Amino acid sequence: AQKITQTQPGMFVQEKEAVTLDCTYDTSDQSYGLFWYKQPSSGEMIFLIYQGSYDEQNATEGRYSLNFQKARKSANLVISASQLGDSAMYFCAMRDLDSGYALNFGKGTSLLVTP
């Protein structure tokens, strides 16, 4: 069985600073995929970044990067140059091969960006 753990219920960061949101996972699969999603107060889930277990490079998408440490089973999201619009819930998720590639989600981290 898979498990996604996000240990930071809430985080604060000042505008223009970088912030790291933690995610650890547990799986017995050799091949797996990790995702990060952003959920603003409006409720929609916005895809941010994807990392495959066999990808040699850490994924990057604009201001988002993923610090993937396979041996430690961690996939932390780094947001550089935070903006006020980054305030939201952030969810780490893993693809579940046994459920049609559905996503198993962590409990999320609430990020607040302050001026």
Partner 1 sequence: EADIYQTPRYLVIGTGKKITLECSQTMGHDKMYWYQQDPGMELHLIHYSYGVNSTEKGDLSSESTVSRIRTEHFPLTLESARPSHTSQYLCASSGRQGTDTQYFGPGTRLTVL
- CA pair distance 40, 53, nearest whole angstrom: 28
Selected binder of partner 1 within 74, 78, 87, 97 (CB under 8 A):
97
42, 57, 85, 115: residue in contact with partner 1 (rule CB under 8 A): 42
Cβ(55)–Cβ(70) below 8 Å: no
Alpha-carbon Rg of the chain, whole angstroms? 14
Contacting range for partner 1; rule: CB under 8 A; set: 12-20, 34-42, 59-67, 69-77: 34-42
**3-class secondary structure, 97:** helix
User: Binder to partner 1 among 57, 71, 100, 115 (CB under 8 A)?
Assistant: 100
Q: Are 18 and 79 in contact (CB under 8 A)?
A: yes
| 44 lies in the binding site for partner 1 (CB under 8 A) | yes
Two tokens at 30? 């050799």
- Can you tell me which of 3, 7, 18, 52 binds partner 1, judged by CB under 8 A? 52
Residues within the interface to partner 1 (CB under 8 A): 33, 35, 37, 42-47, 50, 52, 89, 91, 95-97, 99-108, 110
